[in-house]
Amino acid sequence: RGAVTQPGMVALPRNRRNVLFAIVRAGGVSEMASGLVVLHRIRQGGESHTLNLYNVEDIRTALLLDPLEEGDVITVKPAAPNTVFVGGLVNNPHPQVYPLGAEITVLQAIAGANGLRTDVTPREGTLIRRAADGQEIHVRLDLDRITRGIDPNIALAAGDILWIPETAETRVQDWINRNIFLRAGLSATAGVNYTGSGVEFLNENARQVHTSGNSVNTLQDRFDPFGFLMQNMAIQRTTANP
C-alpha cells in the first residue's frame, strides 16, 4: 500500500518472498514515492522495519530479512509535497506547491509570486537551503545577472526558501515613495485655501522685523519665499473687487 502503482494484496512465489519483489508485483513505486518503505510483520510480534530504497545497505538488508508471510504489510511512504517558500519584496509572498518531480527555477518561483514589487527595484535575492546535516546554506543571487542570462537560473529543491531582501537602495526608494511622492500628491489634491489672516500675519511679522532693522530670515522668507501666499491674497482681492 501507499505510493505504489497498484496498491493491494499480491501473491508471491516461495523463492521471492521479499520486500523488493513484493513492490515490483504491486507495479513498482509511483511518482509520489519518497523511497522509504515500512515493513510491518503481523506474525512476528508486530515488529517493523524501515528501509530506504535509495540506500544500498538498506536494499541488502531487505534481501536478507526472513521471507515474507501472509498478512505482512508493506507501506511505501509518499514524499513530502514539493514546496518552496517565496517572500520579501515580491507582490504575493506565499508557499508554492508543485507536483513531485517538477523542476522550478528561481525566475519561475518569482513569477509564481506575481513578480517583484515595482515601487522599488530589488536587485538581489537569497536562496536558503537545508543541507543533509541540518545546516542552512545561504546563497546570494544577482537577479539582474540571472534575468540577463549571465548567471544560471538555479533550480529550486523542495523546502527551499527564496527571499528577496530589503537593501539600502530599496529602503531609500521606499522612503522617497512614502515621504516625498505621497506628500506631493496630498499637496496637489488637498485644495488648501490660504486666508487673508495668514498673509497678514506674515506681513505684520515682516514689518516688525523691518522696524527693528533686521530684514533677513523673516517668517515670510522662511515659509513663503516664492510669494505664493501673497499671490493668493492678490487673487482673492481681485475676485472680491472686480
Q: pLDDT tens digits for 189-213?
A: 344 443 444 444 444 544 554 455 4
Taking only the tens place, the pLDDT of each residue in 49-80 is 999 988 899 889 988 888 888 889 999 988 77
DSSP structural state of residue 9: -
Q: Is the pLDDT of residue 221 over 80?
A: no
CATH number at residue 129: 3.10.560.10
What angle is formed at CA 176 by the lines to CA 170 and CA 180, rounded to 5 degrees? 170
Q: Is the pLDDT of residue 83 over 50?
A: yes
**Please, are residues 37 and 55 in contact by the beta-carbon 8 Å criterion?**
no
pLDDT of residue 201: 44
For residue 234, how many other CB atoms are within 10 A of its CB?
12
The residue that leads in pLDDT, 4 or 102, is 4
Q: Which domain holds residue 213?
A: 196-240
pLDDT of residue 75: 92
| Together in a domain, 115 and 131 | yes
| Together in a domain, 148 and 164 | yes
Beta strands in 99-184 (DSSP E): 104-105, 124-130, 136-142, 155-156, 161-164
Q: Residues 37, 39, 40, 46: what is their CA dihedral angle, to the nearest 10 degrees?
A: -120
| Together in a domain, 113 and 39 | no
| Together in a domain, 63 and 88 | no
pLDDT of residue 199: 41
Which run of H or E residues covers position 232?
helix 228-240
| Together in a domain, 46 and 87 | no
- 6 domain-assigned: no
Q: Is the pLDDT of residue 89 over 70?
A: yes
- 183 domain-assigned: no
Task: Output the average pLDDT for the chain.
Answer: 77
**Number of domains present in the structure of the chain:** 3
Closest by alpha carbon to 36, among 52, 23, 57, 19? Answer: 52
pLDDT of residue 109: 95
pLDDT of residue 86: 95
DSSP helix/strand/coil, 103: coil
- Residues in contact with 70: Cβ distance below 8 Å, sequence separation at least 6, in sequence order: 43
Q: Is the pLDDT of residue 240 over 90?
A: no
Verdict on whether the full-model pTM lies above 0.95: no
Taking only the tens place, the pLDDT of each residue in 128-180 is 998 878 889 999 999 999 999 999 999 998 889 999 998 888 888 888 877 77
| Together in a domain, 51 and 65 | yes
Q: Which long-range contacts (CB under 8 A, 24 or more apart) does 41-44 make?
A: 41/69, 41/72, 42/69, 42/71, 42/72, 42/73, 43/69, 43/70, 43/71, 43/72, 44/69
Q: Is the pLDDT of residue 12 over 50?
A: yes
Cell numbers for 175, please give them. 522612503
| Together in a domain, 37 and 74 | yes
